[in-house]
């Protein structure tokens, strides 16, 4: 076991998975393991899996198989949502040696080392048939809890992240929404929140290490502070944001995806008084057609969504409003698609993430009649992607020749010249031509024009 010290990680899926991956890497390093790139030969491969769609499942399996091919003698560990929702299938996968479900990632090191010790002890132990115990994959390690019945928030704490200027902070887990296309409530369980004190402690430590911006994230961030059966606890998330305002060194607070129903006059007014809060709101939409929203089991209408956007614009002027849209949901008619397209134009989003509906076994939508052909989904997706480009350009143009604050993150060569690149509070990418290294520094200046379609030229 002592010889197995080289470990490689690969992450799939959402920002919450990314946070948990950072924590697992941190835990392994603290125990003396050497973290190496995934494409290198390692003793242990840890794949943080995703299961949001059938495609995500396939990608998870591909990475697990790839790891075993890189080193057939390695221990391949499948962690997270894929094994949580498909544990029986995963248990039969010959590439997986150890399966660890959600809410047990914090215990990765102890589970892994116990498995390695058992594996070492079992090497010379044979069944009466003469077969090695560890060649029988039905006996492979598995640590998967009944996620649907847990109320425990999995405690993790980062001291650093892969990012250098901003850090994603997981504050919430689980979801109670049960949208008809989504498997996540079964993979992540019911809503659970992290204590304000633990969040503040982690953010404070990161701030002391030079992080300037934090992004509060969760599986269903809007339910932060909720208890089972209660409606949205606006003071819960708002109170947490207000607490972030008090931490020295943090200059920006950004929010992950929000449920539209959390946006009320009271909530928006409270947010507007938070000076460090970035005016960038990701409100998940999925469809602009009320009939499709109903089939999706979304809990709002297009009119209610529009009202929420109007509230934000009353308090923040020109906030960046971003969203997710699914095209080709089962039964989506051409008329319903046109309703969605018209609604998107009405809102005028800064950015949209367009997804073609992907059938996910185990969800009600997978059993619905009227599954849309891939060719139709692709055509509709292409139309919305073009619309997204137009709206994104139009939003950026509103900030030309205006003052902006940029937090620089990286160096980038553009047209053979060296630029420092970062983001405004609205999450508009901006670049300043200079040889000076500015990562982690903020500058105020003017946005002069387009350097690239998604990058504005910045001049202090």
User: How many CB atoms are closer than 10 A to CB 96?
Assistant: 25
pLDDT tens-digit readout, 313-368? 999 999 999 999 999 999 999 999 999 999 999 999 999 999 999 988 899 999 99
Res 128: pLDDT: 29
Tokens 């609604």 sit at which residue? 343
Query: For residue 165, what are the contacts with CB-CB under 8 A and spacing of at least 6?
Result: 211, 212, 213, 407, 408, 409, 422, 439, 440
Which pLDDT does position 87 carry in this prediction?
A: 61
Tell me what pLDDT residue 122 has. 66
Q: Which strand ranges, in their side-by-side order, compose the sheet holding 166-173?
A: 192-193, 166-173, 213-218, 252-255
The rounded distance, in Å, linking the Cα atoms of 356 and 373 is: 11
Classify residue 144 as left (phi > 0), alpha (psi -120 to 50) or beta: beta
Of the candidates 337, 314, 339, 342, the one whose C-alpha atom is nearest the C-alpha of residue 327 is 337
Least Cα distance to 242 among 218, 259, 224 occurs for 224
Q: Would you give the end-to-end CA distance of the chain in angstroms? A: 55
CA dist 260 and 19 (Å) reads: 24
Q: How far is CA 263 from CA 219, 269, 308, 313, in A?
A: 18, 10, 6, 11
Three-state SS string over 75-95 comes to EEEEEEHHHHHCHHHHHCCCC
Per-residue pLDDT reduced to its tens digit, 192-248 = 999 999 999 999 999 999 999 999 999 999 999 986 544 444 459 999 999 999 999
454 neighbors 429 (Cβ within 8 angstroms):
yes
- For residues 27-54, give the mean pLDDT: 93
Q: To which residue do tokens 């800064």 refer?
A: 350
Model-wide pTM > 0.85:
yes
Strand 417-423 to strand 429-433: parallel, antiparallel, or no bridges (unpaired)? antiparallel
Tell me the residue ranges of DSSP E strands in 279-318. Answer: 280-282
pLDDT digits (tens, 9 = 90+) for 91-137: 678 889 898 889 889 999 999 998 888 877 765 443 322 233 333 33
- What are the DSSP calls for 106-173, one per residue? GGHHHHHHHHHHHHHHHTT-B-TTS-BGGG-GGGSEEE---GGG---------S--S-SSEEEEEEEE
Tokens of residue 37, six digits:
């790139």
């Amino acid at each position: 076991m002592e010889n197995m010290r080289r470990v490689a990680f690969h992450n799939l899926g959402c920002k919450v998975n990314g946070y948990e991956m950072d924590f697992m890497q941190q835990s392994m390093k603290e125990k003396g393991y050497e973290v190496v790139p995934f494409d290198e030969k390692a003793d242990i491969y840890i794949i943080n899996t995703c299961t949001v769609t059938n495609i995500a499942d396939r990608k998870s399996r591909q990475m697990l198989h790839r790891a075993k091919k890189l080193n057939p003698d390695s221990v391949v560990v499948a962690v997270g949502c894929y094994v949580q929702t498909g544990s029986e299938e995963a248990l039969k996968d010959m590439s997986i040696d150890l399966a660890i479900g959600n809410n047990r990632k914090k215990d990765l090191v102890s589970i892994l080392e116990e498995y390695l010790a058992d594996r070492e002890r079992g090497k010379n132990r044979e069944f009466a048939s003469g077969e090695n115990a560890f060649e029988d994959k039905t006996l492979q390690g598995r640590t998967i809890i009944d996620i649907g019945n847990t109320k425990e928030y999995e405690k993790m704490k980062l001291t650093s992240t892969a990012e250098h200027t901003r850090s994603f902070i997981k504050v919430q887990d689980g979801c109670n929404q049960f949208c008809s296309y989504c498997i996540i409530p079964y993979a992540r369980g019911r809503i659970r929140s992290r204590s304000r004190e633990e969040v503040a402690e982690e953010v404070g430590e990161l701030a002391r290490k030079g992080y300037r911006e934090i992004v509060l994230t969760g599986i269903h961030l809007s339910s932060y502070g909720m208890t089972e059966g209660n409606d949205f606890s606006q003071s819960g998330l708002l109170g947490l944001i207000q607490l972030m305002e008090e931490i020295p060194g943090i200059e920006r607070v950004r929010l992950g995806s929000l449920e539209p129903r959390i946006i009320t006059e009271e909530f928006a007014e409270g947010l507007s008084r938070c000076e460090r809060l970035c005016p960038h709101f990701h409100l998940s939409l999925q469809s602009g057609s009320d009939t499709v929203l109903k089939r999706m089991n979304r809990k709002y209408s297009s009119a209610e969504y529009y009202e929420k956007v109007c509230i934000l614009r009353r308090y923040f002027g020109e906030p960046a409003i971003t969203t997710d849209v699914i095209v080709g949901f089962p039964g989506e008619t051409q008329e319903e698609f046109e309703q969605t397209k018209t609604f998107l134009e009405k809102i005028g989003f800064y950015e949209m993430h367009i997804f073609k509906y992907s059938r996910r076994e185990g969800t009600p939508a997978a059993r619905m009649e009227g599954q849309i052909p891939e060719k139709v989904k692709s055509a509709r997706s292409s139309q919305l992607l073009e619309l997204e480009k137009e709206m994104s350009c139009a939003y950026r143009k509103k900030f030309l020749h205006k003052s902006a604050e940029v937090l620089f993150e990286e160096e980038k060569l553009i047209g053979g010249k060296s630029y420092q690149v970062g983001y405004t509070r609205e999450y508009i990418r901006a670049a300043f031509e200079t040889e000076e290294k500015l990562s982690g520094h903020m500058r105020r200046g003017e946005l002069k024009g387009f350097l690239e379609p998604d990058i504005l030229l910045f001049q202090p």
